Amino acid sequence: MREDWLRKLEQELSGLHEKGRYRSLRTYDGIDFGSNDYLGFATDPKLKKEAIEALGSATLSSSSSRLLPGHHAEHLAAEKHFANFVGAESALFFNSGYDANHALLTTLPTRHDLILYDERSHTSIYDGVHASLARSHRFAHNSADDLAYQLERVGQRAQPAQVFVVLESVYSMDGDVANLKEIVDVTKEFKAITIVDEAHATGVLGKHGEGLVKDTIGRNNNIITVHTCGKAFGAAGAFVCGSKTVTEYLINKARPFIYTTALPPMIPLQIMNALRRLESEGDKLVLALWEKSCFARATLQGSLRRWYVPDGVTPIISIIIGADEDALRASHLLVEHGFDVPAIRPPTVHDGTARLRLNVSLRHSEDELRRAIEAIVGTELEIAK
């Protein structure tokens, strides 16, 4: 029986190979255009030096949950600092953005509630929604009109005690920005709680990198945001930001928070160093990243003939190719040219929209960007032969 079970798994893996959707772990070679290190903080010499110095006084592990001796002064200090940075009343630190979304969506909505979520939400949102006891329904991507329609249609049928609307401020596959003001206007009308995942907006949008919510709509007790620190902050972990009542409730009820060993104190120290950098020069960094991203996007749009690059203002630039095999081959050819640009394939994106995803970072020089773009244009021609 055991061999039959393993044979079934092997057949599924073989099917992934045939479809061009097999994944494997590898070390990445060449100039990195695949990671989410938008500000270059992960390799920043000054931040690395500060981290090494901080390590001298920090313990190597928290060794337990924060409700046990795993709670350290560094965790609390980072929460207060981050809440102030994004203009929230309170913040709670989680081990990852996935944990934060899962905790929110399995803790706050009950079986009597309704969750409406954008159809292009990240898998961490999908998984949290599906693990929740609440009823759920998708709304058309970035559409305030469809959200209002679903609130009327599904809301009248389900008669929920509370509605939660979940979206991202920047979507990770297309790099497009949420129609946040229009969507929040709808959620206010229906007295819904709005949860905004700011994973790819933190450090990227806002006056100093605070994300989209603070400057676009401001904050109130019906808005909860999630900010990851493993992307632009060059660290790890994530903050849930909202009212103090929400964070206290999560401390008492959220299983992903209660039953996991906390991240080492070194991580919140690293985050606070990144925060200080953004507070002092975030406006310049955000502008410089925007300028680099716009240059790369416009140059690709003007140079590619078969592949499609959507409009946008973020450092996530999708180069939509179509066929899984072509996207995979393009990525391999670019590695041969010294550039690591990953192929993104279904089920991460819809069938027929396999793509290269080029993530621009402040660590990329103008010469590296130009050479990467030239290599992508050349790869398009090579695959078209």
Tell whether 5 is covered by a domain: no
Residue of 122, 214, 292, 364 marked catalytic = 122
Tell whether 3 is covered by a domain: no
- Whether residue 222 lies in the annotated active site: no
Q: Are residues 70 and 38 part of one domain?
A: no
User: In the chain, which stretches have pLDDT less than 70?
Assistant: 1-2
pLDDT for 294:
96
Tell whether 166 is covered by a domain: yes
pLDDT for 271:
97
Mean pLDDT across the chain, nearest whole number?
Answer: 94
- DSSP, residue by residue, 63-102: -S-TTTTT--HHHHHHHHHHHHHHT-SEEEEES-HHHHHH
Tell whether 180 is covered by a domain: yes
- Whether residue 200 lies in the annotated active site: yes
- Whether residue 210 lies in the annotated active site: no
* Interatomic CA distance for residues 364 and 368, integer angstroms: 6
% residues pLDDT > 70 (the chain): 99
* Interatomic CA distance for residues 377 and 71, integer angstroms: 51
What tokens appear for 198 in the block?
């700011």
Strand, helix or coil for residue 364: coil
For the segment 268-290, what is each residue's pLDDT rounded down to a tens digit? 999 999 999 999 999 999 999 99
Residue of 102, 208, 227, 231 marked catalytic = 231
Strand, helix or coil for residue 263: coil
What tokens appear for 124 in the block?
């961490």
* Interatomic CA distance for residues 65 and 95, integer angstroms: 11
Tell whether 6 is covered by a domain: no
* Interatomic CA distance for residues 211 and 203, integer angstroms: 7
Tell whether 268 is covered by a domain: yes
Strand, helix or coil for residue 128: helix
Q: Are residues 76 and 183 part of one domain?
A: yes
Neighbours of 86 (CB within 10 A): 20
The domain boundary, picked from 251, 277, 303, lies at 277
Q: Are residues 31 and 162 part of one domain?
A: no
pLDDT for 265:
94
The domain boundary, picked from 228, 262, 277, lies at 277
Q: Are residues 262 and 138 part of one domain?
A: yes
pLDDT for 2:
61
pLDDT for 25:
77
Cβ–Cβ < 8 Å for 117, 136: yes
Q: Are residues 60 and 129 part of one domain?
A: yes
Residue of 118, 197, 210, 324 marked catalytic = 197
Report the CATH number at residue 370.
3.90.1150.10
- Whether residue 136 lies in the annotated active site: no
What tokens appear for 133 in the block?
């006891």
Residue of 32, 50, 168, 380 marked catalytic = 168
Q: How many domains does the chain have?
A: 2
* Interatomic CA distance for residues 235 and 37, integer angstroms: 9
- Whether residue 168 lies in the annotated active site: yes
- Residue 254 region, left (φ>0) first, then alpha (ψ -120 to 50), else beta? beta
| Nearest one of 125, 146, 99, 119 to 196, comparing CA atoms | 125
- DSSP, residue by residue, 289-316: HHHHHHHHHHHHHHH-SSSB----SSSE
Q: Are residues 214 and 188 part of one domain?
A: yes
Q: Are residues 370 and 228 part of one domain?
A: no
DSSP code of 23? Answer: -
Domain membership of residue 146 as a residue range: 46-277
Q: For the whole model, what pTM was predicted?
A: 0.93
Q: In b/e form, how buried is each residue of 297-313, taking b as 16+ CB within 10 angstroms?
A: bebbeeebeebebeebe
Q: Are residues 120 and 53 part of one domain?
A: yes
Q: Are residues 205 and 303 part of one domain?
A: no
Report the CATH number at residue 249.
3.40.640.10
- Whether residue 132 lies in the annotated active site: no
For the segment 38-80, what is each residue's pLDDT rounded down to a tens digit? 999 999 999 999 998 888 877 889 999 999 999 999 999 999 9
Residue of 62, 96, 124, 172 marked catalytic = 172
Q: Are residues 303 and 179 part of one domain?
A: no
Residue of 72, 75, 102, 200 marked catalytic = 200
Q: Are residues 80 and 220 part of one domain?
A: yes
DSSP code of 321? Answer: E
HSE-up of 250 (CA within 13 Å, CB side)? 26
The domain boundary, picked from 253, 277, 301, lies at 277
Tell whether 8 is covered by a domain: no
- Whether residue 197 lies in the annotated active site: yes
Tell whether 4 is covered by a domain: no
* Interatomic CA distance for residues 219 and 88, integer angstroms: 7
Q: Are residues 327 and 235 part of one domain?
A: no
